[in-house]
């Protein structure tokens, strides 16, 4: 017999840092809480099964990602911000989250379809944060893009080499540090100096990046999260797109 009793779960939005409450059938909320707990405690071995169990309750993969895996990381991220958790704990948590993302990836990004566009994605030079960028990549793949993820600490010349090699339609740069977001400007400057700026559309993103900053440095678009990154990409690769700057925040506000 299905248990329709509702339950709630308090989670921290990893982007805004605000607390919010989600609710749903008791078995689904219990599965999300269990998964978030394993991520929070860095229990890498238990995360894959807990991810499958959450999916088995009928939760969509995207919800398991946001309200299970990411909810666990956000708790440790919040402690890190308040100086009560340190790099080793954050790293262990991040790895645990990645074990769950491996299970979700094929569900969010089915293989075998002709790509709607080619994307080169990376975290810029000097920056080692990759979880948000991985999420952006998974969401883009899920929407039908072929994604070439160059990883972290990617110098401008490597971005450009790959854009040329795979004939990318779109290049996505991520940064999580207020220092390394300046590498977005340097990377665009380098591509422009090499005479290749008109070969590819460029999207800038990551926690410290704003639409205003992205526009100022000469990017074509900005997205604040993985879901809006897809919406921005779709606009930017529209045939005949007139080249105006796309701010993902404004896009979602207008759509609402
Ligand atoms: Co770091 N770290 N970290 N860290 N870390 C932050 C970012 C920080 C905010 C924590 C804090 O407040 N103190 C702070 C930066 C402060 C600042 O500059 N503004 C910080 C710092 C200072 C550091 C070190 C310098 C610490 C030190 O050594 N003293 C160091 C730097 C290392 C380096 O990069 N050179 C460091 C190291 C690390 C770890 C290695 C331990 C680990 C990274 C592990 C990994 O990624 N594999 C880590 C982590 C995990 C964090 C926090 C806790 C979480 C980041 C994260 O993954 N968030 C973070 C604090 C926090 O945010 N609570 C912190 C979840 C992720 C889903 O969100 O990445 O924002 P996010 O991605 C979102 C959006 O931003 C957007 O979509 C994503 C999904 O919705 N997005 C894009 C991201 N990229 C995009 C690209 C796009 C579009 C959208 O288009 C292309």
Low-confidence ranges of the chain (pLDDT < 50): 1, 255-256
Q: String of b and e for 31-61 (b: at least 16 CB within 10 Å)?
A: bbbbbbbbbbbbbbebbeebbebbbebebeb
From the centroid of its chain, how far is CA 239?
Answer: 25
**pLDDT at residue 58 in the model:** 96
Q: Which of 65, 117, 129 to mutate to test the pocket of ligand 1 (most atoms within 8 A of CB)?
A: 129
Residue entry with tokens 């999420």: 135
**pLDDT at residue 114 in the model:** 79
Q: What are the pLDDT digits (tens) for 87-112?
A: 889 889 989 998 999 999 889 877 76
Around ligand 1, the residues with Cβ closer than 6 Å are 14-15, 70, 73, 77, 80-81, 87, 90-91, 94, 126-133, 135-136, 172-174, 176-178, 203, 205-208, 223, 225-226, 229
Q: What angle do CA 149, 73, 61 make, to 5 degrees?
A: 65
The CA-based diameter of the chain, rounded to the nearest angstrom, is 66
**pLDDT at residue 1 in the model:** 47
pTM of the predicted model as reported, rounded to 2 decimal places: 0.86
**pLDDT at residue 240 in the model:** 75
**pLDDT at residue 195 in the model:** 97
**pLDDT at residue 15 in the model:** 65
Ligand 1 atom at shortest distance from the alpha carbon of 207: 75
């Amino acid at each position: 017999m299905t248990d329709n009793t509702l339950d709630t779960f308090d989670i921290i939005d990893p982007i805004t840092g605000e607390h919010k409450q989600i609710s749903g059938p008791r078995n689904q909320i219990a599965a999300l809480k269990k998964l978030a707990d394993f991520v929070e405690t860095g229990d890498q071995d238990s995360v894959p099964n807990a991810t499958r169990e959450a999916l088995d309750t009928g939760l969509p993969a995207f919800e398991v990602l946001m309200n299970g895996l990411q909810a666990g990381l956000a708790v440790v991220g919040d402690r890190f911000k308040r100086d009560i958790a340190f790099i080793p704990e954050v790293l262990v948590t991040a790895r645990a989250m990645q074990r769950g993302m491996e299970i979700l990836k094929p569900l969010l990004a089915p293989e075998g379809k002709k790509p709607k566009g080619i994307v080169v994605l990376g975290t810029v030079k000097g920056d080692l944060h990759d979880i948000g960028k991985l999420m952006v990549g998974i969401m883009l793949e899920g929407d039908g893009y072929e994604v070439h993820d160059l990883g972290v600490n990617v110098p401008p010349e490597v971005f450009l080499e790959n854009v040329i090699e795979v004939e990318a339609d779109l290049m996505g740069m991520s940064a999580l540090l207020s220092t390394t977001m300046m590498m977005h400007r340097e990377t665009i400057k380098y591509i422009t100096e090499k005479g290749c700026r008109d070969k590819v559309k460029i999207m800038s993103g990551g926690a410290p990046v704003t639409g205003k900053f992205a526009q100022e440095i000469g990017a074509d678009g900005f997205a604040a999260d993985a879901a809006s990154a897809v919406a921005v990409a779709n606009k930017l690769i529209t045939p005949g797109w007139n080249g105006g700057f796309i701010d993902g925040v404004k896009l979602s506000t207008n759509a609402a």
